[in-house]
Amino acid sequence: MDQGPRPLNDPGLPTAPARAQAIARLLLVAILTVLGLWILRPFLPALVWAIILAIALWPLYRRAARRWPPGRHNLLLPLLFTGAIALVFLAPLVVLGFRRRARRTTC
């Protein structure tokens, strides 16, 4: 049932100030998003790697969570996985640091 064109003072139609306010709000959101990404720019590679590792290790974590019954592993299993990943990345760095230190003292 089309009732024809709405009158100009109909509250269902957006007014010019309301439309301008909506555009300004969208512009502000876009600017704040760009500024937030600019601030996070140095951390984006680390965040991308964290996402990649989380996706890659999720099936292994789910398998380990199914293997142990619910209970204490709710705290211990995430702690174990976090420690293992930290070891995988930090152990080679520690070894390289000791090698560099040993090389410095012998030269």
Would you write out the chain's pLDDT as a tens digit for each of its 107 residues? 556 665 556 566 667 788 899 999 999 999 999 999 999 999 989 999 999 999 999 999 999 888 887 776 678 888 999 999 999 989 998 899 888 888 877 76
Q: Where are the domains of the chain?
A: 15-52, 68-107
pLDDT value of position 56: 94
d(CA 37, CA 18): 29
pLDDT value of position 11: 61
pLDDT value of position 55: 96
Q: Which helix (H) or strand (E) holds 57?
A: helix 44-67
DSSP state of 14: P
DSSP 58-96: HHHHHHHHHHSPSSTHHHHHHHHHHHHHHHHHHHHHHHH
